[in-house]
């Protein structure tokens, strides 16, 4: 029984190419997942330490627990460090907030 040449070409070229595309898409989606988890955990750490009023010792302990949580949640990322400076959430400065609120009150009146 003879098979057509198209089956050979399909199995030799098209199938591996299709599998390569699937693997690349899966890897990219896992990298996006890891990036989102990292940013979310960073932001949550900043919010908790800002609102919790932790001292330095409590902050270090919370940082260690947060990094352990992060290691359990990421898929491929080897970088599981909490970087509060990289968070989109910024620590508050009361002076700036008071000036902003006062300026908004003046604009309203």
Which domain covers residue 41, as residue numbers?
5-108
pLDDT in tens, 34-77: 999 998 898 888 888 888 877 888 888 988 999 999 999 999 88
Q: Are 80 and 45 in contact (CB under 8 A)?
A: no
Q: Rounded to whole angstroms, how far apart are CA atoms 82 and 44? A: 10
Provide the sign of the torsion angle of the four alpha carbons 29, 34, 37, 39, taken in this order: negative
**Which pTM was predicted?**
0.67
Q: Number of folded domains in the chain? A: 1
Q: Are 87 and 39 in contact (CB under 8 A)?
A: yes
- Find tokens 């979310």 and name the residue: 40
């Amino acid at each position: 029984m003879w098979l057509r040449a198209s089956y050979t070409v399909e199995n030799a070229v098209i199938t591996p190419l299709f599998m390569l595309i699937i693997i690349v898409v899966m890897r990219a989606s896992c990298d996006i997942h890891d990036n989102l988890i990292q940013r979310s955990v960073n932001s949550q750490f900043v919010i908790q330490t800002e609102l919790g009023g932790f001292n330095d010792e409590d902050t270090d302990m919370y940082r260690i627990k947060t990094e352990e949580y992060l290691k359990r949640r990421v898929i491929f990322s080897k970088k599981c460090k909490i970087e509060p400076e990289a968070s989109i959430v910024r620590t508050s400065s009361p002076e700036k907030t008071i000036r902003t609120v006062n300026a908004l009150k003046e604009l309203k009146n």
